[in-house]
Homo-oligomer: A and B are copies of this chain.
């Protein structure tokens, strides 16, 4: 069994242990030498080039992804060559293009913010007029970790993006209502090629400066009926997974609103930062489950090993060098915490690793993970 992964970041890196365990051969197409998943690296090249990707994909049982940026024409060339791609281009489109995603969510009846495509000043003005004069403008493509998202109260605020979109030099735009949300949640599941679906518990993600900082599994109680909310989130994710035909792991990022509803924020069709806790915290990690799903193997149980798991991202890393340079102190202070280094050089704000703790009491678990992560702060 051979899985080819386009991209060699930490997500591909974290597939390595699962592949080693199951005896699956992993091949990685890296953008450059020395990337996070370099241990499994077998090729270096441009994922936007169909010939490069086709050459890499030759001989694999399935092609999958560390990121969602492979262009549709490249994906379709691989499919046309008779190579299995998971998730396929038809599904991946909805993780690549936010306008297409919002359109599809509307068709499926998934709860989401009011939204509209923006192709002109008038489109934006009309939306602002109808929504109290403020809204969230997004680029349909290329956004992540807060990039490609802007709060606007006038067409002037959007001048550069609209001009770029109209001229075709920038990505298309959409506008969404400001959601009065109290916190962010994430519902992850895996769907295999034959259509088996297994969901992890609903988790809570805490963002800092628009970047995921902490994940609580399961989501803390919050306001209202937690069990009802968990069931609703799982149902929404299930609806979407079948509606878009995703194969592999998918994360549905959700806003929880002040009035107790959940609405779809974004989709990710690959292992996701909100699921790193599953490595130690769930019977089947998101990385193993992704490999099973894209190889069309039966999926594993996604229950929790212990009642609580908390993951804290290491953002930036120590002021000089790598996480490993301060292991002596961190490991001594936290002998029951799990440290993950992506073998990246520290840089302000860069995700260079994460720390996970599991146990019975969520607050104690959070404290342990937090202490562990703080050793690596700049």
Q: Are A23 and B331 in contact (CB-based, < 8 A)?
A: no
Q: Are A301 and B335 in contact (CB-based, < 8 A)?
A: yes
A306 at the interface (CB under 8 A from B): yes
A320-357 contact mask (Cβ, 8 Å, vs B): 1 or 0: 00111001100110011011111100000000010000
Which B residue's beta carbon lies closest to that of A332?
B298
A22 at the interface (CB under 8 A from B): yes
A39 at the interface (CB under 8 A from B): yes
Q: Are B23 and A324 in contact (CB-based, < 8 A)?
A: yes
Interface centre among A279, A328, A335, A342 (most CB of B within 10 A): A335
**Chain B positions within 8 Å of A283 at CB level:** 336
**Chain B positions within 8 Å of A148 at CB level:** none
**Chain B positions within 8 Å of A340 at CB level:** 21-23
**Chain B positions within 8 Å of A14 at CB level:** 20
State how many angstroms separate the Cβ of A113 from the closest Cβ of chain B. Answer: 36
Size bin of chain A's contact surface: 35 or more
Chain A binding surface, main DSSP class = mixed
Quick one: given A16-B17, A39-B20, A39-B39, are A335 and B300 in contact (CB under 8 Å)?
A: yes
| Complex Cα spacing A45 to B316, Å | 40
State how many angstroms separate the Cβ of A354 from the closest Cβ of chain B. Answer: 10
**Chain B positions within 8 Å of A342 at CB level:** 23
A300-327 contact mask (Cβ, 8 Å, vs B): 1 or 0: 1101011000000000000000111001
A24 at the interface (CB under 8 A from B): yes
State how many angstroms separate the Cβ of A96 from the closest Cβ of chain B. Answer: 28
| Complex Cα spacing A339 to B23, Å | 9
Which B residue's beta carbon lies closest to that of A292?
B331
Which B residue's beta carbon lies closest to that of A342?
B23
Interface centre among A21, A328, A331, A338 (most CB of B within 10 A): A21
Near B by CB (< 8 A), chain A positions 129-148 give none
| Complex Cα spacing A358 to B298, Å | 20
A40 at the interface (CB under 8 A from B): yes
Near B by CB (< 8 A), chain A positions 22-39 give 22-26, 39
A299 at the interface (CB under 8 A from B): yes
A269-306 contact mask (Cβ, 8 Å, vs B): 1 or 0: 00000000001000110000000100001111101011
List chain A positions with a Cβ less than 8 A from chain B: 1, 13-14, 16-17, 20-26, 39-40, 279, 283-284, 292, 297-301, 303, 305-306, 322-324, 327-328, 331-332, 335-336, 338-343, 353, 358
